[in-house]
């Protein structure tokens, strides 16, 4: 069962983070201020799915690799704290801050500065989650170098 849950939760988490990132860029460059407000206030609600998905991914990953070693497993384990810390210390606070600023209609320099930090940190997490997905596929023999 864990062999199904782990990749499903991991892909779900990655897709949610990608959707947050794309929605943010799209709302800023393609549409109205009202859409920016809607996107920035909706993202924190997405945490209700994202956080459990990433927790399930991490927990099931540790359970699946219990007693196993190897380079790919070690690399995936090293990435997970970086992903979690980036999310907890940068992405979640930034999203909450930006949601509050957007609701208040305060699209000032601070808003856009924090948004740039959020986009950069989001890109880092997308990259790290994508690398973990790739390495997971390699571990399962579904992807070759």
Residues 80-135 have pLDDT tens digits of: 999 999 999 999 999 999 999 999 999 999 999 999 999 999 999 999 999 999 99
Please give the pLDDT value at position 69.
Answer: 81
Rg (CA), the chain: 17
What rounded mean pLDDT belongs to the chain? 93
Domain boundaries, the chain: 2-139
Decide: 10 and 132 in contact? Cβ < 8 Å: yes
- The verdict on pTM exceeding 0.75 is yes
67's tokens:
């007693």
* Strand, coil or helix: 3: helix
Please give the pLDDT value at position 87.
Answer: 95
């Amino acid at each position: 069962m864990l062999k199904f849950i782990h990749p499903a939760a991991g892909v779900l988490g990655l897709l949610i983070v990608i959707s947050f990132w794309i929605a943010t860029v799209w709302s800023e460059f393609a549409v109205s201020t009202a859409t920016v407000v809607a996107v920035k206030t909706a993202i924190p609600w997405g945490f209700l799915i994202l956080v459990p998905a990433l927790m399930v991914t991490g927990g099931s990953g540790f359970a699946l690799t219990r007693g196993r070693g190897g380079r790919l497993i070690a690399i995936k384990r090293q990435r997970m704290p970086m992903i979690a810390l980036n999310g907890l210390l940068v992405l979640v606070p930034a999203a909450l801050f930006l949601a509050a600023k957007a609701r208040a209609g305060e699209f000032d320099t601070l808003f856009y500065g924090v948004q740039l930090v959020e986009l950069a940190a989001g890109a880092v997490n997308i990259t790290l989650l994508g690398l973990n997905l790739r390495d997971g596929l390699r571990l399962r023999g579904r992807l070759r170098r």
